[in-house]
A and B are shown apart, each in its own frame.
Chain A
Amino acid sequence: MSHSPQTGGIVAARLDSAELAAHFDDLYPAFDDHEARVAADRCYFCHDAPCVTACPTAIDIPLFIRQIQAGLPEAAARTILAQNILGGMCARVCPTETLCEGACVREVAEGAPVEIGRLQRHATDGLLLANEHPFERAPATGKRIAVVGAGPAGLACAHRLAMLGHTVVLHDARPKAGGLNEYGIAAYKAANGIAQAEVDWLLRIGGITVQTGSALGGAITLDALKADHDAVFLGIGLAGVNALRIPGEDLPGVRDAVDFIAELRQTADLSTLPIGRHVVVIGGGMTAVDAAVQSRLLGAERVSLVYRRDRGAMAASDYEISHAATEGVTVLTNAMPVAITGTGTVEAVEFAYTREGATGLERTGETFILPADQVFKAIGQTLAGAPEGLTIDGGKIAVDAAGRTSLAGVWAGGDCATGGEDLTVTAVAQGRDAAEDIHAHLTGAAG
């Protein structure tokens, strides 16, 4: 260990490799068979179960848990994956406390829900790790569909289309498929290369050609795709980021949180990844929390997460915020950055206290300064690179319930499209449903 958390500036190796490995291992270790059966036994097999309604992909949760109880996690995996082909990743990353587990009657009754997420992981890991793909393709339809963006939305769409017998070309601008599963999700939620393992497993359905490094707006255009294919699905996520628009934003040491996280996810040896001693993260969503927590896990001595409104308005769930606090992140609310200062490199951030006024957020007049070697901006991602001609609504590609855009033959889903929260599971649901609609459309079953 060449450095410590107290070393000034932005340096690598604040912690030794063993500590780093422990910090970035699975947040929740997998259940063993016995633990899974005990956890499964807590499920009441509710009638018209509220957890199913709360799951954006509507997995038949009581059924899959009963299948675990009955000693066949493989059968449980099929139940899950039939609804949600990225069930393995969702089991790890879904904010279950606000989704299925939040709706569990035992959460309501005792504050201790059935551990649906971990059970889902128990079921799906078996098939995933054995690289056993349980689905087969329908007879070929002869239809070709272009899917742009190999994130959860694009992958779910491509898989369902391939299963229905269509041929899919999956384009992504990045060097690897997976979208934010590969480049965004916190490392300790997707430990041990699960994101790529899941992509590889998913592609075993066949009929999907992946073209990475292939950007819409770069080498390919929507018109060309439309001309060569029977349908196009856009799952391009939110590739842009919001700017702070305050002095000092361009100082070295100030960076977009999503870039930092992407670099972290792609760094094989985390002892080579530099991190500041005093890190300030600006924002209140999942990205801000993940950047802050992972800064601490890398060995930053002091990490402050600063959000301009009150805690109730933060997009990150209570659970995520208390996890950040447990990891030693200081969460400050009702404070907005007014300037980033430093000579040659960032040295501090000046904040103004805020309150909710008659006309919205207003400054109280009081300010404070936080020392900072490194500042991460996490104040929201934006749609970037959406092709011309699509109707945009509230910064997203406008789609109807079936995922159809304003252009005939073009569907969209996931973070780039309207409807639903920006979550992995929502993207999967939208990609899957768009695929079903494309299929209905191409086979003449849709109006």
Chain B
Amino acid sequence: MANLTSTFVGIKSPNPFWLASAPPTDKEINVRRAFQAGWGGVVWKTLGEAGPPVVNVNGPRYGAIWGADRRLLGLNNIELITDRPLEVNLREMKVVKRDYPDRALIASLMVPCVEEAWKAILPLVEETGADGIELNCGCPHGMSERGMGAAVGQNPDLIERITRWCKQTTRMPVIVKLTPNITDVRLPALAAKRGGADAVSLINTINSITSVDLDDFAPEPTIDGKGTHGGYCGPAVKPIALNMVAEIARNPETADLPISGIGGVTTWRDAAEFLTLGAGNVQVCTAAMTYGFGIIKELTAGLSLWMDRKGLTSVEQVTGRAVPNVTDWQYLNLNYVTKARIDPDACIGCGRCFAACEDTSHQAIWQKPDRVFEVNDAECVACNLCVNVCPVEGCITMERLAPGTQDARTGKTVEAAPADWTTHPNNPMARAAE
């Protein structure tokens, strides 16, 4: 059976599933329950400076997007960092770590952007026996207005600076948690690396308004008639997070920087995808908040079974396996020519492919008598839209034209040798063929 034990920046845990810094990790009682359920580690809910803690709103904190049967697809929150006193959190962290020495316990931190503030809190955290720290450079609301969280995460210089302060002050591994509310995630990642970070974790939540109350004309969640943007997370954000993880993993300048993948991990498959795109482990928040800690059994069993099927024996073997296949558009093989094929036996005749292609694509599907739908190769550009809108899995597939055959759309013979945009005659920048 696959070995799920994980060593991330030197921190060991029995599996690569950590709970992300958030309500599931805000108190001793939650974290104990998580460890009992089998979670590999936790990133404790973000700690702030000593002194009076932050306050949260006393109205609703969450907004959500659901599927028809109330499956939660996206969650949005306006919660701040922990609103419990620093000493209480530290005390609890210490006893939990003492009782669960085999699990990872990371402290998430967010203090003002001055060196003394960071230097003041780090010894207190070290004292708890925590395995590492995560710098919260991502919280998109409330804290960012006070010059912390995303306000730091959006400024590479500040990221570099606080990372360096921390590295200079503590022996604990430093993970820098990045915000997705930027244009190019490679820049903050690089800044973290320059500052000496041991790893980055991403993504934190995405600025969002989930919905508007159409009676009160106010964004939700609505607090006394007003609302504010929150941070979006859950299944809906996974594609965005995957891309950001991959961008850092395939950038030569950060390729060796370990990544803790976060954002919409809901099943073992999501986790496997993050790992293949370069994550060393994953963190989970919304899925646990939706279904409770019990999902860890599905996550570990699923990942393990899949690894067995693939003949992969350790998490390290999974990490980064898909990274070499993430490339730029210009390098995609333009001689890879496919056509949509509709399996008449599987087709149930709904005609969605026809409507999609006829109305919004390339008029490449014929509707024949008796609701028979067929692809016209002379028009099909192989966009794959029909495959995506077809309600029957596997009914429409994309079939590759063998080299030597003719593409009915272009009239050209499909060539065996790959060719991409960099050498295409229409490309003004094309390199001359050697």
A69 → chain B closest CB, angstroms? 7
Query: At the interface, yes or no: A109 with Cβ under 8 Å from chain B?
Result: yes
- Asked whether A40 lies within 8 Å of B68 as measured between CB atoms, the reply is yes
Instruction: Output the nearest chain B residue to A40 by Cβ-Cβ distance.
Output: B68
- Asked whether B349 lies within 8 Å of A34 as measured between CB atoms, the reply is no
Q: In the assembled complex, which residues on chain A have CB atoms less than 8 Å from the CB atom of B367?
A: 47-48
- Asked whether B348 lies within 8 Å of A105 as measured between CB atoms, the reply is yes
A47-B354, A69-B68 known; A109+B348 contact, CB < 8 A: yes
User: Complex: how many Å from CA A45 to CA B350?
Assistant: 8
| Contact mask for chain B residues 35-64; partner A; CB cutoff 8 A; 1 contact, 0 none | 000000000000000000000000000000
- Asked whether A50 lies within 8 Å of B348 as measured between CB atoms, the reply is no
| Contact mask for chain B residues 261-280; partner A; CB cutoff 8 A; 1 contact, 0 none | 00000000000000000000
Query: At the interface, yes or no: A135 with Cβ under 8 Å from chain B?
Result: no
User: Complex: how many Å from CA A371 to CA B350?
Assistant: 52
Query: At the interface, yes or no: A44 with Cβ under 8 Å from chain B?
Result: yes
B357 → chain A closest CB, angstroms? 10
- Asked whether A44 lies within 8 Å of B70 as measured between CB atoms, the reply is no
- Where chain B touches its partner, the secondary structure class is loop
A37-B68, A41-B69 known; A47+B348 contact, CB < 8 A: no
A105-B349, A109-B348 known; A47+B69 contact, CB < 8 A: no
- Asked whether B371 lies within 8 Å of A50 as measured between CB atoms, the reply is yes
- Asked whether B349 lies within 8 Å of A108 as measured between CB atoms, the reply is yes
- Asked whether A38 lies within 8 Å of B348 as measured between CB atoms, the reply is no
A331 → chain B closest CB, angstroms? 32
Query: At the interface, yes or no: B124 with Cβ under 8 Å from chain A?
Result: no
- Asked whether B68 lies within 8 Å of A46 as measured between CB atoms, the reply is no
Q: In the assembled complex, which residues on chain B have CB atoms less than 8 Å from the CB atom of A47?
A: 350-352, 354-355, 367
User: Complex: how many Å from CA A38 to CA B66?
Assistant: 12
**Which residues of B in the span 319-363 have a Cβ within 8 Å of any Cβ on A?**
348-352, 354-355
Q: In the assembled complex, which residues on chain A have CB atoms less than 8 Å from the CB atom of B392?
A: 109
User: Complex: how many Å from CA A266 to CA B388?
Assistant: 54
Q: In the assembled complex, which residues on chain A have CB atoms less than 8 Å from the CB atom of B355?
A: 47
Identify the interface centre among A38, A44, A47, A106: most chain B CB within 10 Å of its CB.
A47
**Which residues of A in the span 25-65 have a Cβ within 8 Å of any Cβ on B?**
34, 37-38, 40-41, 44-50
User: Complex: how many Å from CA A37 to CA B66?
Assistant: 12
Contact of A48 among B68, B70, B351 (CB under 8 A): B351
Q: In the assembled complex, which residues on chain B have CB atoms less than 8 Å from the CB atom of A106?
A: 348
Interface residue range, chain A: 10 to 19
A101 → chain B closest CB, angstroms? 14
- Asked whether A105 lies within 8 Å of B68 as measured between CB atoms, the reply is no
- Asked whether B68 lies within 8 Å of A44 as measured between CB atoms, the reply is no
- Asked whether B70 lies within 8 Å of A46 as measured between CB atoms, the reply is no
User: Complex: how many Å from CA A40 to CA B351?
Assistant: 18
A397 → chain B closest CB, angstroms? 35
- Asked whether A34 lies within 8 Å of B352 as measured between CB atoms, the reply is no
B313 → chain A closest CB, angstroms? 40
User: Complex: how many Å from CA A148 to CA B354?
Assistant: 46
- Asked whether B350 lies within 8 Å of A38 as measured between CB atoms, the reply is no
Q: In the assembled complex, which residues on chain A have CB atoms less than 8 Å from the CB atom of B371?
A: 48, 50
User: Complex: how many Å from CA A61 to CA B233?
Assistant: 35
Query: At the interface, yes or no: B391 with Cβ under 8 Å from chain A?
Result: yes
- Asked whether A41 lies within 8 Å of B350 as measured between CB atoms, the reply is no
- Asked whether A38 lies within 8 Å of B349 as measured between CB atoms, the reply is no
A48-B367, A50-B371, A109-B392 known; A38+B352 contact, CB < 8 A: no
Interface residue range, chain B: 10 to 19
A44-B391, A48-B367 known; A105+B350 contact, CB < 8 A: yes
B218 → chain A closest CB, angstroms? 18
A105-B348, A108-B349 known; A38+B68 contact, CB < 8 A: yes
Q: In the assembled complex, which residues on chain A have CB atoms less than 8 Å from the CB atom of B350?
A: 44, 46-47, 105
- Asked whether A44 lies within 8 Å of B69 as measured between CB atoms, the reply is no
Instruction: Output the nearest chain B residue to A41 by Cβ-Cβ distance.
Output: B68
Instruction: Output the nearest chain B residue to A37 by Cβ-Cβ distance.
Output: B68
User: Complex: how many Å from CA A106 to CA B392?
Assistant: 10
Q: In the assembled complex, which residues on chain B have CB atoms less than 8 Å from the CB atom of A50?
A: 349, 371
Q: In the assembled complex, which residues on chain B have CB atoms less than 8 Å from the CB atom of A46?
A: 349-352
**Which residues of B in the span 229-277 have a Cβ within 8 Å of any Cβ on A?**
none
Q: In the assembled complex, which residues on chain A have CB atoms less than 8 Å from the CB atom of B348?
A: 105-106, 108-109
Instruction: Output the nearest chain A residue to B355 by Cβ-Cβ distance.
Output: A47
- Asked whether B69 lies within 8 Å of A38 as measured between CB atoms, the reply is yes
| Contact mask for chain B residues 378-391; partner A; CB cutoff 8 A; 1 contact, 0 none | 00000000000001
User: Complex: how many Å from CA A37 to CA B371?
Assistant: 28
Identify the interface centre among B349, B354, B355: most chain A CB within 10 Å of its CB.
B349
User: Complex: how many Å from CA A45 to CA B390?
Assistant: 11
Instruction: Output the nearest chain B residue to A45 by Cβ-Cβ distance.
Output: B352
User: Complex: how many Å from CA A108 to CA B349?
Assistant: 9
User: Complex: how many Å from CA A50 to CA B372?
Assistant: 13
- Asked whether A44 lies within 8 Å of B352 as measured between CB atoms, the reply is yes
Q: In the assembled complex, which residues on chain B have CB atoms less than 8 Å from the CB atom of A41?
A: 67-69
B83 → chain A closest CB, angstroms? 34
Instruction: Output the nearest chain A residue to B392 by Cβ-Cβ distance.
Output: A109
Identify the interface centre among B68, B69, B367: most chain A CB within 10 Å of its CB.
B68
B408 → chain A closest CB, angstroms? 24
User: Complex: how many Å from CA A34 to CA B69?
Assistant: 8
Q: In the assembled complex, which residues on chain B have CB atoms less than 8 Å from the CB atom of A49?
A: 351
**Which residues of A in the span 102-125 have a Cβ within 8 Å of any Cβ on B?**
105-106, 108-109
User: Complex: how many Å from CA A49 to CA B194?
Assistant: 60
A43 → chain B closest CB, angstroms? 10
Q: In the assembled complex, which residues on chain A have CB atoms less than 8 Å from the CB atom of B349?
A: 46, 50, 105, 108
User: Complex: how many Å from CA A105 to CA B370?
Assistant: 12
B349 → chain A closest CB, angstroms? 5
User: Complex: how many Å from CA A379 to CA B349?
Assistant: 39
User: Complex: how many Å from CA A17 to CA B67?
Assistant: 43
Q: In the assembled complex, which residues on chain A have CB atoms less than 8 Å from the CB atom of B351?
A: 46-49
A395 → chain B closest CB, angstroms? 34
Q: In the assembled complex, which residues on chain B have CB atoms less than 8 Å from the CB atom of A69?
A: 68
Q: In the assembled complex, which residues on chain B have CB atoms less than 8 Å from the CB atom of A37?
A: 68-69
User: Complex: how many Å from CA A37 to CA B351?
Assistant: 22
B51 → chain A closest CB, angstroms? 47
Instruction: Output the nearest chain A residue to B351 by Cβ-Cβ distance.
Output: A47
User: Complex: how many Å from CA A105 to CA B371?
Assistant: 11
Instruction: Output the nearest chain B residue to A34 by Cβ-Cβ distance.
Output: B70
User: Complex: how many Å from CA A46 to CA B351?
Assistant: 6
**Which residues of B in the span 111-126 have a Cβ within 8 Å of any Cβ on A?**
none
**Which residues of A in the span 43-102 have a Cβ within 8 Å of any Cβ on B?**
44-50, 69
Q: In the assembled complex, which residues on chain B have CB atoms less than 8 Å from the CB atom of A108?
A: 348-349
Identify the interface centre among A34, A41, A44: most chain B CB within 10 Å of its CB.
A44
Identify the interface centre among A40, A48, A69: most chain B CB within 10 Å of its CB.
A48
User: Complex: how many Å from CA A41 to CA B371?
Assistant: 23
User: Complex: how many Å from CA A45 to CA B356?
Assistant: 12
User: Complex: how many Å from CA A48 to CA B368?
Assistant: 12
User: Complex: how many Å from CA A38 to CA B68?
Assistant: 5
User: Complex: how many Å from CA A345 to CA B67?
Assistant: 63
User: Complex: how many Å from CA A151 to CA B59?
Assistant: 56
Q: In the assembled complex, which residues on chain A have CB atoms less than 8 Å from the CB atom of B70?
A: 34
| Contact mask for chain A residues 190-225; partner B; CB cutoff 8 A; 1 contact, 0 none | 000000000000000000000000000000000000
B382 → chain A closest CB, angstroms? 21
B165 → chain A closest CB, angstroms? 51
Pairs A–B under 8 Å by Cβ, sample size 8: A41-B67, A47-B350, A47-B351, A48-B351, A69-B68, A105-B348, A108-B349, A109-B348
Known: A34-B70, A48-B367, A109-B392. 16 other contacts (CB 8 A): A37-B68, A37-B69, A38-B68, A38-B69, A40-B68, A41-B67, A41-B69, A46-B350, A47-B355, A47-B367, A48-B371, A69-B68, A105-B348, A106-B348, A108-B349, A109-B348
**Residue ranges of A at the interface with B (Cβ–Cβ < 8 Å):** 34, 37-38, 40-41, 44-50, 69, 105-106, 108-109
List 6 A-B pairs, minimum CB-CB distance, nearest first: A47-B351, A41-B68, A47-B355, A109-B348, A46-B350, A105-B348
